[in-house]
């Protein structure tokens, strides 16, 4: 009959009891190593989301499952979930000099006008940030690396600014209105193109184009000329204003003078009207006096004429009577009248001469005629 060896039996019992302890120790050791590896690798299952951060949690398939914008501790499953933290704070891309130490400081921007003139921007910066709700797109394009986002913004900025400023001629680019218009257009285009990438442009710095020194001097001279033109325009406006004020003052003075002259004319007209009335009154009085004097003179002349008529009528009657008397007396009256007429005539008697020359007779006749 086979008998169990007591020694072997006790050894087997002890070995069976120690195996679970060994397994437990191994599992605990593995768990301790796993925890240490998680802490060393940062995959401890807890992610701290800051106030200016947003977290994007990816599943094992690589697709973004959720976006967490609330600050605090975020729990996730290590090695199953992948958490990416993105900064929501505004970032800045600077373009100046010949290049910088990283992707956020790059070389200055060189541009061309539509006539081929080259100019640069010595210092130009763009402020940008994540679009609210665009964290998935940002992580999908550039991951959680801010320098990658800066590189994406740089590419689009150079392209858009070159296209926009290439629309203007050189003389227009120096104008503030053109710079403001181009800057607003660039910002709008950048936001449109970067929105699908989860990026929003907040602000573009003031654009100060830098041309060649000769062109800069020409632009400066042109600016001086424009300033002189503006000064002359303001001076012209000032002179026109002063002229308007002087004209207004002169017009006011002339209105006052016109009022004074109108008053003087009115007074002179009133005086003239009064004088006219007085003269008409004097004329009427003079005319009445003259009419009265004429009437009196007419009456006197009529009386005188009547007296003359009576007188001459009497004389005519006397002459008529004389004529009748003469008519009755006949030749005697004629002879008496002839005698009265010849009474005043002197006769010169010359002795008769036998000389028949008519000259002597003519002389005597002439002498007699001269005496008559």
The domain that holds 94 is classified in CATH as 3.30.479.30
Q: Does residue 351 carry a pLDDT above 90?
A: no
Same domain (yes/no): 278, 344: no
- How far apart, in whole angstroms, are the C-alpha atoms of residue 56 and residue 82? 8
The yes-or-no verdict on residue 145 having pLDDT over 70 is yes
Q: Cα(357)–Cα(190) distance, rounded to whole angstroms?
A: 163
- Predicted pLDDT at 307: 87
Q: Is residue 263 part of a domain?
A: yes
Instruction: Give the pLDDT of residue 15.
Output: 44
Domain containing 177 equals 90-211
356 vs 228, higher pLDDT: 228
- Is residue 197 domain-resident? yes
Position with higher pLDDT, 314 vs 102: 314
Does residue 52 sit within a domain?
Answer: yes
Q: How confident is the model at residue 1 (pLDDT cuts 50, 70, 90)?
A: very low
Give a yes or no: residue 161 inside a domain.
yes
- pLDDT of 114: 83
55-63: average pLDDT? 64
Give domain status of residue 149, yes or no.
yes
pLDDT digits (tens, 9 = 90+) for 209-266: 777 777 777 767 878 898 999 999 999 999 999 999 999 999 899 999 999 999 999 9
Tell me: do 358 and 288 sit in the same domain: no
pLDDT of residue 79: 58
Is 315 contained in some domain? yes
How confident is the model over 110-132, as a mean pLDDT?
A: 81
pLDDT band for position 120 (cuts 50, 70, 90): confident
CA–CA distances in Å: residue 258 to residues 106, 266, 371: 78, 12, 90
- pLDDT tens, residue by residue, 73-113: 665 556 555 666 767 778 888 888 776 667 778 888 888 88
Final residue in a domain of this structure, among 211, 239, 261: 211
Per-residue confidence (pLDDT) for residue 260, from 0 to 100: 92
The answer to whether residue 9 sits within a structural domain is no
pTM (global) more than 0.95: no
Distance CA 33, CA 38 (A): 9
- Are 96 and 207 found together in one domain? yes
Residue 51 pLDDT exceeds 50: yes
How confident is the model over 284-290, as a mean pLDDT? 89
Same domain assignment for residues 221 and 289: yes
Residue 62 has pLDDT above 60, yes or no: no
360 and 339 both lie in a single domain: yes
pLDDT for the residue 11:
38
Say yes or no: 59 and 126 in one domain: no
pLDDT tens for 11-41 read 344 444 466 777 777 767 765 565 555 554 4
Per-residue pLDDT at 67 exceeds 50: yes
Q: 143 to each of 91, 138, 319, how far by Cα in Å? A: 16, 7, 168
- Residue 1 falls inside a structural domain: no
Same domain membership, residue 360 and residue 347: yes
Residues 297, 361, single domain; the answer is no
Q: Cα–Cα distance between 105 and 74 in angstroms, integer?
A: 33
193 and 164 within one domain: yes
Q: What is the pLDDT of residue 234?
A: 92
In this prediction, residue 236 carries a pLDDT of 93
Q: What is the mean pLDDT of residues 151-170?
A: 87
The total domain count for the chain is 5
Least confident interval from 79-83, 128-132, 267-271: 79-83
3-state secondary structure the chain: CCCCCHHHHHHHHHHHHHHHHHHHHHHHHHHHHHHHHHHHHCCCCEEEECCCEEEEEECCCCCEEEEECCCEEEECCCCCCEEEEEECCCEEEEEECCCCCCCCEECCEEEECCCCCEEEECEEEEEEEECCCCHHHHHHHHCCCHHHHHHHHHHHHHHHHHHHHCCCCHHHHCCHHHHHHHHHHHHHHHHHHHHHHCEEEEEECCCCEECCHHHHHHHHHHHHHHHHHHHHHHHHHHHHHHHHHHHHHHHHHHHHHHHHHHHHHHHHHHHHHHHHHHHHHHHHHHHHHHHHHHHHHHHHHHHHHHHHHHHHHHHHHHHHHHHHHHHHHCHHHHHHHHHHHHCCCCCCCCCCCCCCCHHHHHHHHHHHHHHC
254 and 158 share one domain: no
Residues 102 and 202 in one domain: yes
Checking if the pLDDT of 119 tops 60, the result is yes
Those residues with Cβ within 8 angstroms of residue 223's Cβ, 6 or more apart along the chain or in another chain:
174
Q: What is the mean pLDDT of residues 115-140?
A: 79
Q: Please say if the pLDDT value at position 305 is more than 50.
A: yes
Closest CA to 193 of 236, 241, 237, 156: 156
Average pLDDT, the chain: 76
Where is pLDDT greater, at 368 or 81?
81
């Amino acid at each position: 009959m086979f008998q169990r060896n007591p020694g072997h039996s006790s050894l087997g019992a002890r070995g069976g009891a120690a195996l679970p302890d060994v397994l437990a120790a191994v599992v605990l050791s593995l768990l301790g190593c796993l925890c240490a590896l998680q802490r060393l690798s940062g995959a401890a299952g807890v992610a701290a989301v800051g106030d200016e951060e947003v977290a994007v949690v990816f599943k094992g398939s690589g697709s973004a499952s959720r976006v967490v914008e609330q600050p605090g501790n975020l729990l996730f499953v290590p090695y199953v979930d992948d958490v990416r933290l993105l900064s929501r704070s505004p970032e800045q891309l600077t373009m100046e000099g010949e290049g910088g130490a990283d992707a956020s400081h790059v070389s200055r921007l060189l541009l061309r006008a539509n006539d081929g003139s080259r100019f640069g921007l010595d210092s130009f910066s763009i402020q940008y940030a994540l679009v609210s709700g665009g964290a998935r797109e940002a992580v999908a394009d550039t991951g959680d690396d801010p320098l990658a986002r800066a590189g994406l913004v740089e590419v689009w900025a150079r392209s858009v600014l070159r296209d926009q400023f290439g629309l203007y001629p050189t003389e227009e680019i120096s104008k503030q209105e053109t710079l403001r218009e181009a800057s607003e257009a660039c910002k709008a285009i950048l936001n449109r193109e970067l929105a699908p990438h989860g990026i929003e442009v907040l602000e573009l710095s003031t654009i100060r184009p830098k041309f060649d020194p000769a062109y800069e001097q020409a632009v400066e001279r042109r600016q001086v000329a424009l300033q002189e033109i503006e000064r002359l325009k303001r001076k012209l406006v000032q002179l026109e204003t002063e002229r308007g004020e002087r004209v207004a003052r002169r017009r006011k003075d002339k209105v006052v003078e016109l009022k004074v002259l109108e008053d003087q004319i009115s007074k002179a007209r009133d005086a003239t009207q009064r004088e006219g009335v007085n003269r008409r009154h004097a004329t009427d009085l003079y005319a009445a006096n003259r009419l009265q004097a004429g009437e009196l003179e007419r009456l006197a002349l009529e009386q005188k004429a009547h007296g003359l008529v009576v007188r001459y009528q009497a004389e005519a009657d006397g002459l008529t009577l004389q004529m009748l008397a003469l008519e009755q007396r006949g030749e005697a009256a004629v002879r008496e009248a002839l005698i009265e007429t010849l009474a005043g005539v002197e006769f010169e008697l010359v002795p008769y001469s036998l000389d028949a020359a008519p000259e002597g007779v003519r002389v005597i006749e002439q002498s007699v005629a001269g005496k008559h």
